[in-house]
Structure 1
Amino acid sequence: MVRKVDFIVLPIMMITYCMQFMDKLALSSGSVFGVKTDLHLVGQDYSWCSSIFYFGFMLGNFIAARILHIVPLGKLIFTAVFFWGITLACSAASQNYAGLMVARFVLGFCESFVSPTFVFMTTMWWTQQQGAFRTNIYFAGNDIGGVISSLIAFGIGHAGGALMPWRYLFICYGCLAFVWSFVILFFLPDTPSKARFFDSSEKKYYKEEMSTSEVEKKWDWEQAKSCVTDVNVWLILVAIASSILPNSGVISYGYIILDSFGFTSIQSTLINLALSVFTWFCITFAGYLASHFKNSRCYVILIVVVFSLVGGCLIYKGQAKGVKLLGYFLVDVQPAITPLLLGMTASNFKGNTRRSVVNSAVFIVYCACNIAGPQLFRAKDAPHYPHAFLSWIVCYCISACLAVIMRFSWIHSNKKLEKLAESAVLPATKSTDSEKEEIMEFMDPTFRYKY
């Protein structure tokens, strides 16, 4: 039964992430194929074209927090991919800075529904322990997208034609997403109970044994309010911020960074191809470790941060081209942190409303950091951007501290659940709201926090 899900649902999620990442990379690829000169982008114009995408993404996340409880999830993903494909293809018609800004905002809005929906769906299809590896698998679709994007950009960079190469990139990526949306429409179920590839006994298992397999239509304000006072929510949000700030710079300025090392646009494309394969391996291997060694996620995050910190220091202080390139590869281990954090977000918060609120908060922080990340690359710091790379080093240090703090926090929370289990007496009159939430978690004997 689980293999059916892994061979049908998981590839759809992974390829959708692949498409999404290709679309995000379209502007970065276009930066070395004429978009800046063709549209007369000067100063911080390019940075704002990167950042405005996440203003649209943030707006969409506010809507996603509520709409996940109302509409069929499979149809929601289809609609998002359908319209972002059209938007990206039409972005090729942009004639100036303003036109590109509008297109990027709409594209961000359309893409915003995918990530929170997939985090939500992870708990519908897989158990807490299974979800960690699967999250890393579909998140690694980003780097498969990076490989495909590099190959397409390499080909289009040599192709010539009546239009500037960046316009062909936008049209190509947009059409691919448009076609893929119909695969999602026909093959991605809204819930396990509507999966055509399940027989009646498998659907019965999900209904009876997986309490998170169906979407509750009711919005619980008590669950929503409990998120504000939960220290674990705030730790996750700060950890997301410290991991996304550096990563957003890599996504938006990856080609430009390599150009600053002294590589040509075609060389940068080939390096990004190798880099995407390397990052895909790191994300997948990190997910494997987190899934096969109990409660090892924070340890894996700590290991990843050490590699990234060394890489950031090599870029910041290194002089030779080879040293900086080695540092850039080590920095690209860092994307493995995000799916581990998303996995903890999916598995460690019970109740559909609470999970929706936490997911939306995570992706709002994600948007804010992706808005801020490109702004660290100030035009006056070009071409070496020391200010941006120093900020990366600071973020990696914060991530290391948070990995340790989160581990102890989840351990402490599990001990409280164990005490409730040992007492077997639930205080009915003197319980605070937070204690009542813990009691509800205790009443599910299979629930313990994963860290």
Structure 2
Amino acid sequence: MDSEKDAKTSSMEEEVKAIEAPAFVDVKHMFRKVDFVLLPIMMFTYAVQFMDKLALSAGSVFGLRTDLKLVNQDYSWASSIFFFGFMLGNFFVVRLIHLVKIGRFVSFVICAWGITLACSTASQNYAGLLVARFVLGFLESAISPTFVFITSMWWTQKQQAVRTNLWFAGNDIGGVLNSLIAFGLGHANGPWSPWRYIFLTYGLMAFVWSFVILFFLPDSPQNARFLNQGEKQYYQKEMKSSKVDKKWDWGQAKSAFTDIQVWLLLFSTVLCVLPNAGITSYGFIILDSFGFTSIQSTLLNLALSIFTWFAIALAGYLASRFKNARCYVIWLCLVFAITGGCLIYKGNSKGVKLLGYFLVDVQPAILPLLLGMAASNFRGTTRRSTVNSAIFIIYCACNIGGPQLFQSSDAPHYPHAFLSWIICYCLNVVFTLLIRLAAIRANKKLEKLAAEFVPVVEEEIEVEKELVEYEDPSFRYKY
């Protein structure tokens, strides 16, 4: 009995030592494992989500508008109502991600929206389509804010830009898959119109993928099966942003709305998303207006998706490779977008307009760079969630307004919509400059705070208040 008791005591002592001992962690190897497990899951989830968004656009040239008798602005509102649901869902998500197990939460919403999209196949009129699109938007609202939160939880400030761009580039993987599947289903000769097969196929894909998420997306570093004890300990001690505070701090929430950097980020998001909303909703119709057939438009969207994926991945790499180059990369994207917008607006031939459309398709790389700055530059669980939620509410509002720039009276060439794109791109150059100047000014204040900072002996006490970025002398804003 004594030997058994001694063995148990010895075992407990070893466990305590293992916890207290500063375990050696190969940080590069650890982040490679995180990249290998999380990034493919996040990229394909974003691809599935984008395919579900594109289902309406793809269906629009394969019988949806005719079958459901959509006239005047009906199609634009069918596109916009998705984002009314998305906006409403954001108000719930901002709090839910503090309280629920993130992996299971993501799995549940993907399963639910897969079922919703598959059931949308049964829509027989405009009203039925509107209801299905609203519910779909409400459910899909969970993914983007949660992924920004996951990015700040799992990766360092320096790593976040390229990782955000990579999972966001899942949009274009979805675009590629959408073009291939829509091309195949566009030739379907069954009892249904092709758009119904598109809705059903994408819904079933989301439903199946939700079970992959359930088993492989961890809720946090502390319950990740692929991390060893030392690596979990590293996250707990060294990665402050990996902790989720379940308490809601109204002081942090208020501070987000009185911060000039938050507002500049929101204005830049408006000018980025407003034109992109038109591309998402009217992509197939725009190409159709250039003079391409439905099948040609589908194949061109395949090429555009591959091109945009490379643009987003390259932008993320450049932003991470060079110190504080994020605003410079955004400006580069805007130069391409302004040039492209002018070619579409003033171009006379199909080829010139198509070249302009390719150049405009560089600008989707801007939003993940802004999301990366949101992940890197704001600390405190409540403050970070508030900023993310504000961004995605703005994102919804712009996606509601974006399709309305395409007025039926301007069809088929939509000159006013393309002119509005050019204006947005030009204004965004100014706001990105202001973001950069505000971050430089904030960093100077932090440097001054660091010079005046008197280190104190750390005591083994639990700190109740979460430290936000402008209170931390060691913090520096990324721009």
Give the TM-score normalised by the residue count of structure 1: 0.96
1:442 Cα deviation (Å)? 6.0
**Aligned pair partner of 1:59 in 88, 103, 107:** 88
**Aligned pair partner of 1:6 in 35, 55, 70:** 35
Number of residue pairs aligned between Structure 1 and Structure 2: 441
3-state SS of 2:243 partner? coil
Matches within 5 A, 1:213-362: 213-362=242-391
Separation (CA, whole Å) in 2 of partners of 1:324 and 1:141: 26
1:420–1:446 CA distance, 2 compared to 1 (3 A):
closer
Structure 2: which amino acid aligns with 1:13? M
* 1:81 paired residue number: 110
* 1:160 equivalenced with 2:189 (yes/no): yes
C-alpha contact (below 8 Å) 2:269/2:370 kept by paired residues: yes
**Per-residue Cα deviation, 1:46-85 (whole angstroms, up to 9, x for no partner):** 0000000000000000111111111111111111101010
Structure 1: which amino acid aligns with 2:91? F
C-alpha contact (below 8 Å) 1:286/1:336 kept by paired residues: yes
* 1:142 equivalenced with 2:171 (yes/no): yes
Structure 1: which amino acid aligns with 2:478? K
Structure 1: which amino acid aligns with 2:250? W
* 2:27 paired residue number: none
Structure 2: which amino acid aligns with 1:447? F
| Alignment root-mean-square deviation, CA | 1.3
* 1:449 equivalenced with 2:457 (yes/no): no
Separation (CA, whole Å) in 2 of partners of 1:79 and 1:356: 20
1:403 Cα deviation (Å)? 1.4
Separation (CA, whole Å) in 1 of partners of 2:474 and 2:416: 47
Unaligned regions of 5+ residues in structure 2, if any? Answer: 1-29, 456-464
Separation (CA, whole Å) in 2 of partners of 1:81 and 1:103: 15
C-alpha contact (below 8 Å) 2:270/2:395 kept by paired residues: yes
**Per-residue Cα deviation, 1:237-262 (whole angstroms, up to 9, x for no partner):** 00000000000000000000000000
* 1:191 paired residue number: 220
* 2:126 paired residue number: 97
Q: Give the structure with higher Rg (CA).
A: 2
Separation (CA, whole Å) in 2 of partners of 1:284 and 1:442: 30
Separation (CA, whole Å) in 2 of partners of 1:132 and 1:424: 29
3-state SS of 1:180 partner? helix
Separation (CA, whole Å) in 2 of partners of 1:405 and 1:213: 30
Structure 2: which amino acid aligns with 1:310? T
Structure 1: which amino acid aligns with 2:92? I
Separation (CA, whole Å) in 2 of partners of 1:32 and 1:443: 54
Separation (CA, whole Å) in 1 of partners of 2:142 and 2:70: 29
Separation (CA, whole Å) in 2 of partners of 1:443 and 1:159: 60
**Per-residue Cα deviation, 1:358-407 (whole angstroms, up to 9, x for no partner):** 00000000000000000000000000001100100010011111111111
Structure 2: which amino acid aligns with 1:261? F
Greater shift, 45-54 or 61-70, is seen at 61-70
Unaligned regions of 5+ residues in structure 1, if any? Answer: 427-436
* 1:107 paired residue number: 136
**Aligned pair partner of 2:204 in 160, 164, 175:** 175
**Aligned pair partner of 2:420 in 391, 396, 403:** 391
Give the TM-score normalised by the residue count of structure 2: 0.91
Greater shift, 47-56 or 401-410, is seen at 401-410
Separation (CA, whole Å) in 2 of partners of 1:80 and 1:398: 36
C-alpha contact (below 8 Å) 1:235/1:402 kept by paired residues: yes
% identical equivalent positions? 69
Show structure 1 runs of 4+ deviating over 6 A.
none
C-alpha contact (below 8 Å) 1:249/1:373 kept by paired residues: yes
Separation (CA, whole Å) in 2 of partners of 1:438 and 1:203: 20
**Per-residue Cα deviation, 1:200-232 (whole angstroms, up to 9, x for no partner):** 000000000001112110111110000111000
3-state SS of 2:476 partner? coil
* 2:431 paired residue number: 402
* 1:203 paired residue number: 232
1:278 Cα deviation (Å)? 0.1
